[in-house]
């Protein structure tokens, strides 16, 4: 799929999400009570877990890093990947697009304050680990996954800039973790700042 087509799909999904999004005061009123975690399965490699949030609960995939530390890859609120550091893992459900640029290292306590909702299949686990390696290295997505990642971010006025900031803040607010560990040197915000003259609609296949 061409970058222009990917970008058009993302803009359409983003516009729909913005139109349906609850006002902040209504979202805060829907904040669920944090209870019932004691009966949940302990975090385990490859689980998809759900953290309660104000109007926008957070789905994330957890991968063990040992010593009671977890790498958590958030799922986007959207169904279309915004940048190459996002991967469309599934085609159904609320947890579809992983945000590799938004990876967090969280302690076991934060990982346990969530509900288990699913787990990666073996093929999904292989895809996620292969893709995440390239994200953390600042490289291109694997060819087999290229059509399921977003287009490069090339312009400082691209609405995806606001989306990235908003998603980072959303995850910060829900996890209560002030420091994000972003995977590798991505070509998103830094690339846009260095190349403001580029036209972000002129992508290649």
Q: Coil, strand or helix: which one is 115?
A: strand
Indicate the domain borders of the chain.
3-19+42-194
Residues 55 and 40 sit within 8 Å (Cβ to Cβ): no
With b meaning 16 or more CB within 10 Å and e meaning fewer, what string describes 131-154? bbebbbeeeebeeebeebbbbbbb
What's the Cα-to-Cα distance from 79 to each of 29, 94, 112, 195, 197, rounded to whole Å? Answer: 25, 8, 26, 28, 29
Q: Give the Cα separation of 87 and 97 in Å (integer).
A: 5
Neighbouring C-beta atoms of residue 66, cutoff 10 Å: 6
Residues 158 and 192 sit within 8 Å (Cβ to Cβ): yes
Residue 24 has what pLDDT?
52
Residue 205 has what pLDDT?
43
Q: Coil, strand or helix: which one is 98?
A: strand
Residue 189 has what pLDDT?
44
What residues are paired with 75 via a beta bridge?
A: 98
What is the reported pTM? 0.81
CATH class of 3-19+42-194: mainly beta
Sequential pLDDT tens for the chain (205 residues): 899 999 999 999 999 988 887 555 444 444 444 557 878 999 999 999 999 876 678 999 999 998 889 999 999 999 999 999 999 999 999 999 999 999 999 999 999 999 999 999 999 999 999 999 999 999 888 899 999 999 998 888 899 999 999 999 999 999 985 444 444 334 434 443 344 444 444 444 4
């Amino acid at each position: 799929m061409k970058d222009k087509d990917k970008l058009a799909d993302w803009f359409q999904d983003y516009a729909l999400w913005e139109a349906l999004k609850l006002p902040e005061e209504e979202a805060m009123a829907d904040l669920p009570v944090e209870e019932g975690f004691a009966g949940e399965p302990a975090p385990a490699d490859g689980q998809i877990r759900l953290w309660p949030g104000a109007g926008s609960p957070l789905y994330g995939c957890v991968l063990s890093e040992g010593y009671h530390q977890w790498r958590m890859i958030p799922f986007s609120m959207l169904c279309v990947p915004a940048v190459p550091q996002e991967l469309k893992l599934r085609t159904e459900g609320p947890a579809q697009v992983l945000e590799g640029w938004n990876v967090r290292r969280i302690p076991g306590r934060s990982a346990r304050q969530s509900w288990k909702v699913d787990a990666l299949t073996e093929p999904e686990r292989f895809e996620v680990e292969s893709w995440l390696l390239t994200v953390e290295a600042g490289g291109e997505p694997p060819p087999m996954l290229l059509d399921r990642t977003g287009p490069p971010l090339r312009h400082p006025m691209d609405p995806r800039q606001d989306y990235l900031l908003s998603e980072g803040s959303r995850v910060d607010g829900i996890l209560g973790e002030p420091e994000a560990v972003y995977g590798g040197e991505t070509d998103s915000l830094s690339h846009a700042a260095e190349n403001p003259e580029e036209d972000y609609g002129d992508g290649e296949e």
